[in-house]
Amino acid sequence: MITHVQLLITPAYAFTDYCAQAQTLEHCMVNIGMPPSGQLTPFNAYVALSCSCSHEMIWLLRGFNVQLFTQHPSEFVKGG
């Protein structure tokens, strides 16, 4: 007896927020997680979230710490 199983595959590719700068994507799935470098800033997240044509076309892969957007991004920029 021979059985046949067909799996649906969606072609896709991934790249970093650095490579996404100045690109506009119709659909995107964003992972706002801790990068291997160990440092996540609001600037990284902004670039990742702003590369889509519309907010309806962005899917978040997983939850993230909201404090990322509620704290000042840099003490050096904050000033006195």
**Threshold 0.85, pTM exceeds:** no
User: What b/e readout covers 17-33, taking b as 16+ CB neighbours within 10 angstroms?
Assistant: beebeeeeeeebebebe
Region class of 22: left (phi > 0), else alpha (psi between -120 and 50), else beta: left
User: What b/e readout covers 64-76, taking b as 16+ CB neighbours within 10 angstroms?
Assistant: beeeeeeeeeeee
Q: Which residue ranges make up each domain of the chain?
A: 17-72
**29 neighbors 57 (Cβ within 8 angstroms):** no
**pLDDT tens per residue, range 20-55:** 788 888 888 888 887 777 777 888 888 888 888 888
Residue 11's pLDDT is what?
81
Locate 71 and state its tokens.
């704290």
